[in-house]
Amino acid sequence: MEEKIYPKIQIVDENDNFLDNVGYFEALDMGAIRRAARIFVFNESGQFFVQKRSKNVSKPLLFDQSAAGHVDEGETYHEAAVRELYEELGLEGFELDLIAESYRSPGFYSNIYKLIITDNQPINFDPHEVDSMHWMEISDIDKLVSESPELCTDSLTAIWPDIKTKLLS
């Protein structure tokens, strides 16, 4: 994995109360609960956009939600979501629908957002962050997460089964 300089990220207590801004690796070493923004992108046909993470980032070559990342020092959850959507997928200027606020999953509190784009909307993913992109039917992502969790990030397998109903409503 190529070394990357990470900005300080927000760590929180068990109730999502801000504690401090620390370096990414320091947060991991501490086992701290981190804040993250997660964006699930769908097209008008109802397919879910899944990215396969780049070999250059943590959890390389695993399937993951459409875009996601830590909430950096000084950011809100929403600002982090907008930034990550642009950094990873080149998408900007869209309204994000907040699906879940302060959602607790292993190691994280997250705000989870949904975005629906047109079927022909170009996605210009950053190859440093994303290896490949895949439009999947809901039944296919269900099968991937349940039958091949080793091919997915821990966060996708932890969140998808619980949040799917809210995302699809």
Q: What domains appear along the chain, each with residue ranges and CATH number? A: 9-168 (3.90.79.10)
| 100-121: average pLDDT | 97
Q: Residue 130: which H helix or E strand, with range? A: strand 130-136
Residue 103 confidence (pLDDT): 97
pLDDT-derived band at 58 (thresholds 50, 70, 90) equals confident
Per-residue pLDDT tens digits for 35-57: 999 999 999 999 999 999 999 88
Is the pLDDT at 5 greater than 90? The verdict is: no
Residue 2 confidence (pLDDT): 45
Q: What is the pTM of this model?
A: 0.93
Residue 4 confidence (pLDDT): 54
Alpha-carbon separation of residue 63 from 5, 11, 26, 152 (angstroms): 23, 25, 25, 4
Mean pLDDT of the chain: 95
Residue 7 confidence (pLDDT): 86
